[in-house]
Amino acid sequence: MATARRSIGSVVAALIATTTITAVDSIVLSSEARAQQTLRVGNTAFGPRKGQVHWAFAAADVMPLMAFFDSLTYVDAEAKLQPGLATSWQAQGNDTWIFKLRPGVRFHNGKPMDAAAVVANVEYILTDEGKTTSGGRMLNDFVITGRAIDATTVEIKTKVPQPIMDRWFALFRPMEVGAYREMGPEGFGVKPIGTGSFRVVSWTPEGIRAEAFPEAWRKPKVERLVINELPENAARLQALTSGQIDIAWSLTPDDGPRIAAAGGSVSVTPVGDVVSMGFNLIKDSPFKDVRVRRALSHGVDRESFVKNVLGGLTKSAGQPAASNIAGHVPAIRPYAYDPVRSKALLAEAGFLNGLKAKIEIVTFGDFGVAMQNMASDLARVGVELELINLTIPDFIQRFVGQKAWDGIGISTIYEPFPTADVMRALVTQSCSGRGNFICDRTIQPTIEAANVETDPAKRTALVTQIMQYYHDNALSLYLYEAIQVTGLARNVRNYKMANRAPNYHEIELAR
């Protein structure tokens, strides 16, 4: 099974990539490039909108763009909020936030990144065009206005109380709106103007070429950056181990030995996502019975999967919150693997001879292998799952409510990006979601209360109650905490990633 694995990013890229794999020879360093300290990176695929930053949400889009843009706030690896373009922030009342901006920051074209620039970006995401972007769709749920108080102070008004507005602004990455209007979406996409440590020189089908931005507030340690599209996991691994790139994103745990043999190392970053099978609670089915859901939860050997397929690099899950995000409750443990208990619960629910169920899944990387492993385990307790493969577009249309679900189970992820807070994940995994397949009316009032509770202690109590309910009632079959596996060449120093943002300004290449 392990040899059949492919990383999530690799397979998604294979599904959506519109260009062929470029010749890796194009990124081999010349002696001049080596002298100039060029950092070379292999990415899975670039989204069709390239550098249009407000569209960037998927990891394969966000990771490259954080070289060229900065967010107002950052979430670190411990889910703590850190300053970005904003140095401080404070809630005033229930519907107002005040952000103090870092003085003296400039965009790549020399224009100031000040309060007026932030307001211009707020106004953009509130336009009809802005509302269609990934970031715009999310921020429009609660942002209503932006106002410059002075050159370095911005007031943000919200439609409803938003206790984690500061965390949501990890998704707010200002672009130079004047350049966007002048260049248009396509022009800006290939020559984006942000405030990041690097500025784009060219963006072609072969990849991105960028140079250090001399006026950056976080100056990089290397002079050049090259990010190439290498959709296949094997191509990224080969480029890394042969010395043609320095960093390879979205590899697999199986790749570790080859990387080590080439003198490199592996960086494993907890993503914060919880990979799961969601039970469709809006359709009449055996999954309506909590005993059946608990039976399935006891019927899967998560620990063996994590150890044998994921190389022991992550953890099994028992709640919607991964252990590295806000809202995780350490006392809540994953369901124990107990086939005897699983069969007993099924019999108690009236399924002595087992049951059959149609499950709709996407089969990218760990996700697909995890679903196959889950189905194999459950077959041993009498549960026969018919796994129906959906294309990514079909899955998304169902997920956002544009199409109806046919199955009674869905492969899904509790995704906390960009806030690293579990309540972000429940936007889609509750009655609040457009596809709302995981809809339990009993807990929904508590979810809605937590979403607007501004008292930290009260909010924590509500979130803990929600996590316990999701576990006890097995609203999903929680499997494991997702990880990002990055391969590093032997000369790479100080590489880190948190919340899809590599620390470009700190990465060094040993000479």
Q: What is the pLDDT of residues 295-311, one digit of tens each?
A: 999 999 999 999 999 99
DSSP E strands, 310-457: 355-361, 383-389, 409-414
Q: Whole-angstrom Cα distance, residue 448 to residue 459?
A: 11
- pLDDT for 206 equals 83
Q: How confident is the model at residue 30 (pLDDT cuts 50, 70, 90)?
A: very low
The angle at the Cα of 430, spanning 426 to 431, to the nearest 5 degrees, equals 135
Residue-range definition of the domain harbouring residue 221 = 2-69+178-264+489-509
Q: Are residues 417 and 477 in the same domain?
A: yes
- The answer to whether position 112 is within a domain reads yes
Q: Are residues 347 and 413 in the same domain?
A: yes
Q: Whole-angstrom Cα distance, residue 289 to residue 223?
A: 59
Q: Whole-angstrom Cα distance, residue 43 to residue 231?
A: 7
pLDDT exceeds cutoff 80 at 39: yes
Q: Are residues 44 and 97 in the same domain?
A: no
Q: Are residues 23 and 162 in the same domain?
A: no
Q: How confident is the model at residue 397 (pLDDT cuts 50, 70, 90)?
A: confident
- The answer to whether position 324 is within a domain reads yes
The angle at the Cα of 311, spanning 372 to 428, to the nearest 5 degrees, equals 55
Q: Are residues 233 and 97 in the same domain?
A: no
Tens digits of per-residue pLDDT, 184-207?
Answer: 999 999 999 999 999 999 999 889
- The answer to whether position 356 is within a domain reads yes
pLDDT exceeds cutoff 90 at 435: no
CATH code for the domain of 138: 3.90.76.10
Three-state SS for 216? coil
Q: How confident is the model at residue 36 (pLDDT cuts 50, 70, 90)?
A: low
Q: Are residues 229 and 378 in the same domain?
A: no
Q: Are residues 349 and 225 in the same domain?
A: no
Backbone angles phi, psi at 218, to 5 degrees: -125, 90
Q: Are residues 332 and 448 in the same domain?
A: yes
Q: How confident is the model at residue 401 (pLDDT cuts 50, 70, 90)?
A: confident
Parallel, antiparallel, or unpaired for β 224-229 and 38-43? parallel
pLDDT exceeds cutoff 50 at 326: yes
Residue 312 host element (H or E): none
CATH code for the domain of 415: 3.10.105.10
- pLDDT for 80 equals 94
Tens digits of per-residue pLDDT, 79-107?
Answer: 999 999 999 999 999 999 999 999 999 99
Tens digits of per-residue pLDDT, 412-426?
Answer: 999 999 999 999 999
CB 241 within 8 A of CB 53: no
* Domain final residue pick, 116, 142, 168: 168
- The answer to whether position 173 is within a domain reads no
Average pLDDT over residues 244-264: 96
Q: Are residues 440 and 343 in the same domain?
A: yes
Q: Are residues 223 and 360 in the same domain?
A: no
Q: Are residues 31 and 101 in the same domain?
A: no
The angle at the Cα of 498, spanning 323 to 102, to the nearest 5 degrees, equals 125
C-alpha distances (whole Å) from 307 to each of 48, 277, 375, 393, 480 are: 36, 19, 18, 32, 11
The tokens describing 168, both together, are: 């949501």
Q: Whole-angstrom Cα distance, residue 108 to residue 363?
A: 40
The tokens describing 395, both together, are: 């899955």
Q: Are residues 154 and 58 in the same domain?
A: no
Q: How confident is the model at residue 428 (pLDDT cuts 50, 70, 90)?
A: confident
The overall average pLDDT reported for the chain is 91
Number of domains into which the chain is organized: 3
Q: Which of 266, 210, 251 is nearest to 13 (CA)?
A: 251
